[in-house]
Structure 1
Amino acid sequence: MHLDHPEVFPERYTASAEKGERALRVGFGGPVGSGKTATVAALCRALRDTVSIGVVTNDIYTREDADFLLREAVLPPERIVAVETGACPHTAIRDDISANLEAVEELEETVGPLDLVLVESGGDNLTATFSRGLVDAQVFVIDVAGGDDIPRKGGPGVTTADLLVVNKTDLAPYVGVDLRRMAVDAEAQRGPLPVVFTAVRQPGGVDPIAGWVGERLAEWSAVRT
């Protein structure tokens, strides 16, 4: 696991990534259909006027997520790169990250200088984490349609991501989900690590996530200067 929360998980502590002149890299993981691509799209719309952004998407055999972002025109086409992993999504973000690293470096060389690179994993399960060699922070996206027992089940994505996003809260009344129970279970699993309950497709739904990313960017810039 890449995550670096020594005050919460001292046994998982790893040295912080060296902060040079490159962009901050934030990974987005989560189960299929949880809203990862919608979250990335909404973040691009929210930040693109003030932050220089690039996106790397991961799909096993297609470019579907990248094509969605291109159709939505969230960024100029040259700022969106697709990686076809050809294997389990976990491998490309955690074990053999070479294809993703090449994509990130290509973005920084051809479009840069960039402030922020968003790396979206292919659809995965609750065990997915990003290599620290690939990203500097990880966001894990789940949704209420998956059931209110997801936080209770835990898994590395839920328990150790730098930010947990519980998406599609507007659907809770229709799928019989208890948001209060999800909040209690998430806090029990994560301790002080932050959790956001939102619906990213709703007006202002991405704002708390954009605020969190903005804080990470400010910290990154402070170290670089």
Structure 2
Amino acid sequence: MPENTTAPTRAMRLGVAGPVGTGKSSLIATLCRALSGELRLGVITNDIYTDEDARYLKSAGVLDPERIRPVETGACPHTAIRDDVTANLLAAEDLEADFGSLDLVIIESGGDNLTATFSPALVDAQLFVLDVAGGGDVVRKGGPGIARADLLVINKTDLGPYVGVDVERMAREGREARRGGSVVALSRHDEESIRMLTGWVRDTLARYRAGDHTPVDPGPMAPHSHADRDGKGGHTHTHADSATHTHDQAPAHAGPSA
């Protein structure tokens, strides 16, 4: 049979987005624990002014600390994952240059709102994370991340009884919002849910390696505003044309290497 010339030559890049506090870093830690024995992994974290998420993952001992790199965006979290992805692209390329051939590079967005999505120029697949503590109705609020990311993860399901959330209903409504798209109800304490998540990652990686996976753009950010530097006023804009949109804020820049 002829060789598949469309197969990629670099690691698959997986974006992890979602609001603040939904457990993106703990989800990545769970993936690293489960997959580091079989896959060569790297992680890039995004924070506005700190490297806190990278520090958390390093302290958790889930991966060689040198394989975890922080990016300090210096601006709204979506800036470095959608508007100008240069800092994250450079960080991903540096990881592969330093460690040779990697299988998977996981890129964590800073905590943003329901409209946050990655540019397909940065990641090959993306998952969007909600948590039950945010309320069972949040899946019905929609947005491009919930509706069109490659996978929706409903995280911290073990907290459902304590916050009055029917997890099964939330997962069902998530599938309805995604018109049957993939949903994983996840708890880091539930091995079966972890197997579902890692199974999805393995399947997506296999399709990527075979050249059968095409990055999908979930859609641009919804109109929103940013406060001025003094915290007052602001300006409303959209990201319909990410190639030409600019922010009057500090540019994204890579933080110090791990």
Tell me whether the two structures share a fold, i.e. TM-score over 0.5: yes
Q: Equivalents in 1 of 2:12, 2:77: separation in Å? A: 21
**Post-superposition CA distance 1:121-173 (Å, at most 9, x none):** 00111000000000000011100000001110011111111000001111111
Question: Match for 1:219 among 192, 202, 207?
Answer: 207
Quick one: which of 25, 30, 45 aligns to 1:42? 30
Say which of 159, 162, 167 aligns to 2:150.
Answer: 162
Q: Does structure 2 conserve the Cα–Cα contact (< 8 Å) formed by 1:166 and 1:198?
A: yes
Q: For the structure 1 residues 30 and 201, does the alpha-carbon distance in structure 2 shift closer, same or farther, using more than 3 Å as the test? A: farther
Which of 62, 72, 82 is matched with 2:60 structurally? 72
**Structure 2 Cα separation of the partners of residues 184 and 215 of structure 1:** 22
Equivalent pair of 1:55/1:80 in contact (CA under 8 Å) = yes
Q: Determine which of 122, 126, 129 is the counterpart of 1:138.
A: 126
- In structure 2, list runs of 5 or more residues that go unmatched: 1-5, 213-258
Deviations 1:186-209 (A, max 9, x none): 122101210011212444542211
Are 2:94 and 1:106 equivalent residues in the alignment? yes
Q: Distance in 2 between matches of 1:190 and 1:203?
A: 25
The AA in structure 1 aligned to 2:100 is G
Q: Does 1:124 align with 2:112?
A: yes
The TM-score, its normalising length taken from structure 2, stands at: 0.77
CA shift, 1:182, in A, is 1.3
Residues 1:181 and 2:181 aligned together:
no
Match in the other structure for 1:172: 160
Is the contact made by 1:30 and 1:128 (CA closer than 8 Å) also made in structure 2?
yes
Retained in 1: the 8 A contact 2:22–2:129?
A: yes
Q: Answer yes or no: is 1:87 the counterpart of 2:58.
A: no
User: What amino acid does structure 1 have at the position aligned with 2:80?
Assistant: A
Separation of aligned partners in 2, 1:201 and 1:157: 25
Which has more helix, going by share of residues? 1
CA shift at 1:19, angstroms?
5.1
Aligned positions, number: 207
CA–CA distance in 1 between the matches of 2:77 and 2:133? 22
C-alpha distance in 1, partners of 2:31/2:123? Answer: 17
CA contact (8 A) 2:154 2:171 kept: no
Amino acid of the structure 1 residue aligned with 2:64: P
For residue 247 of structure 2, what is the aligned residue in structure 1? none
Work out the percentage of aligned pairs sharing the same amino acid. 57
Would the aligned equivalents of 2:152 and 2:182 in 1 still touch at CA under 8 Å? yes
Larger Rg: 2
Post-superposition Cα deviations, 1:79-103, rounded to whole Å, max 9, x if no partner, equal 1100000100111101110110010
Q: Which runs of 4+ in 1 moved over 3 A?
A: 201-205
1:60 is aligned to 2:48: yes
Q: Is 1:207 matched up with 2:195?
A: yes
Query: Is the contact between residue 8 and residue 209 of structure 2 (CA under 8 Å) also seen in structure 1?
Result: no
TM-score under structure 1 normalisation?
0.88
1:141 match: secondary structure: strand
Q: What is the letter of the counterpart of residue 39 of structure 2?
A: V
Q: Secondary structure of the residue that 1:145 maps to in structure 2?
A: helix
Give the CA deviation at 1:223: 2.5
